Structure 1
Amino acid sequence: MSEQLALPVQPRSPVLELRDALEADWPHILAARERAARMYERVQILSYPFVPRDTSLVLFGSLARAEFTHGSDVDWTLLVDGPADPDHWDLTQRLRSKFTAARIKPPSPGGPFGRLTFSHDLIHRIGGDNDTNQNTTQRLLLLLESRPTSNRDAYDRVIANVLTRYVEEDLLGPAESPFRVPRFLLNDFARYWRTMAVDFAHKRRERQADQWAVRTTKLRFSRKLLHTAGLLSCFLCREAFKEEKSVARFHDAKLVVDYLARLLGTTPLDIVARVVLDYFGKDSGAANRLFGAYDSFLGLLDDEDKRERLKNLSPGDADSDPLYREASALGKAFQDALGEIFFSEPLRDFTIRYGVF
């Protein structure tokens, strides 16, 4: 790999810090992270010669979350932040061909990935009739689970501009009012979680229960984790700024945007681990159960036989299927641990005030 493409040195992951603090063993989480790092490097090498300066190749899904298992898709989009150019379409075709030749599993057909995404709608169409389901999905996943490859200039601009739209709406009130949480952003995180849940029911009916057990399990874990990370990002933002003495700092949108961009630039699991480390400590039994359940979930997905069995399981056979019962029990353990964390201090008041009402 050339010097230009050298991967940046990352600070120690909060997940690893938490694992050591709890003296826990999460082999599937660590294996998925190592596998994601290797795949990220492959994609980076393959795509580097083709990506122009006004674009960024952005990765999503399990690869961006560093939860890459055997059988994972590589979800990507070519993000354009500049004038439209006919060459952009040709570039997506070249990237697709390059990945196919390298035997990289493509995104699911008909979804929002494996194509062009233009920054204009992501930034300017937040809410209202023009904010389509696909636009909402692309925007929120860009914030919650994305990672750029070698050329990140366009990506960084779009992230900053999207976050600025959210934050500036919350700073329109009186200058003497203290900044509390990025409520506009929090509400969109909540809306997206509910949209995912509703779309799950729609797809189950439309696809006649095809792969419903895998989708159900993912909804209980990785999809719920996205919402969790979004809520906790807003909580951490409140905590980071509440001690400031200068009201002007509360109303400095750039400070808030920069903070959120750095925070959301980590993975969802790292955001959860950061909150546990800073506010609950190593004595948090809920954290061990939460990460233990998530580790088992990744282990289940990484087992090709188990994943295939869940893919082919019919709803009528679910109650008597040991594997599905195991997945359901893990989902309940994950949910119970989340509930314990969110309804314990210091998150309890935040959860009731902002997460419920």
Structure 2
Amino acid sequence: MSTKDSTFQDFPELAKRSDFTQKKLKTLRDRFKSIIESSDYSEQITIVTTGSYGRGEASEESDLDLFILLDADEPVKEAIPDVLDAIKQLIDEEVPKSTGETTTFGPRTVIKFSEMLQNIGGSEDDNESLTRRMLYLLEGTWLYGQKRFERYRHRLLEKYIKEDSPDHQLSKFFLNEIIRYYRTIATDFEHKVSERNKEWGLRSTKLRFSRKLLYFGGLITVAEVSELTQAEKVERSISLLEKPVLERVAALSDSESQSTREIFRIYEQFLTAISDPEIRQTLEQTDKESRHDCKQYMQLRELSSEFSNRLATWIEEQFNKEHPIHHSLIF
């Protein structure tokens, strides 16, 4: 039994989704390689995926959040139009569910990696830039261009853990960016459902579970490396961020940790619920005003409160009360 298999051996839904994700990622990587390696820009293209595929929890019902990094001076439409068409066709064949109306992700969302390194926290740092940057670090994986993906992640992380960053202290810049992103997600959710009339119930439920888990995975990474030197922080953070969040939690905790098992149990319940077509449809049709009349939504909301408590308990058990992460999350 592999380490990954043993991580989820008592959690069949988590194991099934992890297995599905790895198999689909291999298929996608092989197929992307076959259509891109003959391009004149094959050494300038990197394809990044986040979302359920980045978290290792994808299923047949999952869409594919991705964006493309192109290191070339030419305008994209002039440089790789045929490649973009081929990428779009491949995704339609392998992962037919649409990512929806968004310019943050998609088979025609192409940016330069240098753009991800600029204006961090500045007036031109919009929500799309923040989202791509944080998801790249916290849950991203590669579909094409593995070595470039890894090199880019290293360079991006060094923007947050700089050479002049103090040793043996929390990386406050990185921590503050993770907090900013999580709060931005919550604010953006309110905007989408209030101003743009997006569906409410399923979005709210995902915010309470998968988005919260993403945030938690970032917090524990920063906390875990706090006592290291700057260079060690970068390398250890990379090794942790390479793992999907639940595997990261398992790697940092004792194999018999009850808190870890409870986190897995609750998250599995969430994934099982939203995989049920009837429950998913009910959640999609539930709005804020009718939420108290929706049994499924209220059950998941109650479960999400338990999830929050379990995540908080895990941090308290993993990092003693003198650890700076506790104070920094308040102040």
TM-score relative to the length of structure 1: 0.83
Q: Which amino acid aligns with 2:168?
A: F
1:203 aligned onto 2:192: yes
Partner of 1:323: 296
User: How far apart are residue 144 of structure 1 and its match?
Assistant: 0.8
Q: Which amino acid aligns with 2:51?
A: G
Structure 1 segments unaligned to the other structure (5+ residues):
1-9, 242-249
User: How far apart are residue 49 of structure 1 and its match?
Assistant: 2.3
Q: For 2:283, what is the secondary structure of its paired residue?
A: helix
Name the CA shift for 1:302/1:129 in 2 (closer, same or farther; >3 Å): same
1:128 aligned onto 2:122: yes
2:100 to 108, 132, 139: 108
1:36 aligned onto 2:28: no
State whether residues 290 and 334 of structure 1, in contact with CA within 8 Å, keep that contact through their aligned partners in structure 2. yes
State whether residues 36 and 66 of structure 1, in contact with CA within 8 Å, keep that contact through their aligned partners in structure 2. yes
State whether residues 46 and 99 of structure 1, in contact with CA within 8 Å, keep that contact through their aligned partners in structure 2. no
1:216 aligned onto 2:204: yes
1:334 to 299, 302, 307: 307
Q: Please give the alpha-carbon distance, in whole angstroms, between the structure 2 residues aligned to 1:124 and 1:333.
A: 39
Partner of 1:228: 216
1:48 to 33, 38, 60: 33
State whether residues 70 and 113 of structure 2, in contact with CA within 8 Å, keep that contact through their aligned partners in structure 1. yes
Q: Which amino acid aligns with 1:70?
A: E
Q: For 1:189, what is the secondary structure of its paired residue?
A: helix
- Residue by residue over 1:158-196, the C-alpha shift from the partner in whole angstroms, topping out at 9 and shown as x without a partner, is 11111111111xx426xxx63322221111111101111
User: How far apart are residue 117 of structure 1 and its match?
Assistant: 2.4
State whether residues 319 and 325 of structure 1, in contact with CA within 8 Å, keep that contact through their aligned partners in structure 2. yes
Q: For 2:61, what is the secondary structure of its paired residue?
A: coil
- Residue by residue over 1:259-310, the C-alpha shift from the partner in whole angstroms, topping out at 9 and shown as x without a partner, is 2222111111112222222xxx51x433222211100011112212211121
1:271 aligned onto 2:248: yes
Partner of 2:39: none
Partner of 1:351: 325
State whether residues 56 and 153 of structure 1, in contact with CA within 8 Å, keep that contact through their aligned partners in structure 2. no
Structure 2 segments unaligned to the other structure (5+ residues):
37-41
Name the CA shift for 1:71/1:165 in 2 (closer, same or farther; >3 Å): same
Count of residue pairs brought into register by the alignment: 321
Q: For 1:188, what is the secondary structure of its paired residue?
A: helix
Alignment RMSD, CA only? 2.2
TM-score relative to the length of structure 2: 0.89
Identity, in percent, stands at 25
Q: Please give the alpha-carbon distance, in whole angstroms, between the structure 2 residues aligned to 1:190 and 1:103.
A: 31
Greater relative contact order (Cα < 8 A, sep 6+)? 1
1:80 aligned onto 2:65: no
Q: Please give the alpha-carbon distance, in whole angstroms, between the structure 1 residues aligned to 2:206 and 2:304.
A: 9
- Residue by residue over 1:187-214, the C-alpha shift from the partner in whole angstroms, topping out at 9 and shown as x without a partner, is 1111101111111111110233x42111
User: How far apart are residue 45 of structure 1 and its match?
Assistant: 2.8
Q: Could you list the structure 1 runs, at least 4 aligned residues long, displaced by more than 6 angstroms after superposition.
A: none
1:61 to 33, 51, 54: 51
Q: Please give the alpha-carbon distance, in whole angstroms, between the structure 2 residues aligned to 1:345 and 1:232.
A: 9
Q: Which amino acid aligns with 2:267?
A: Y
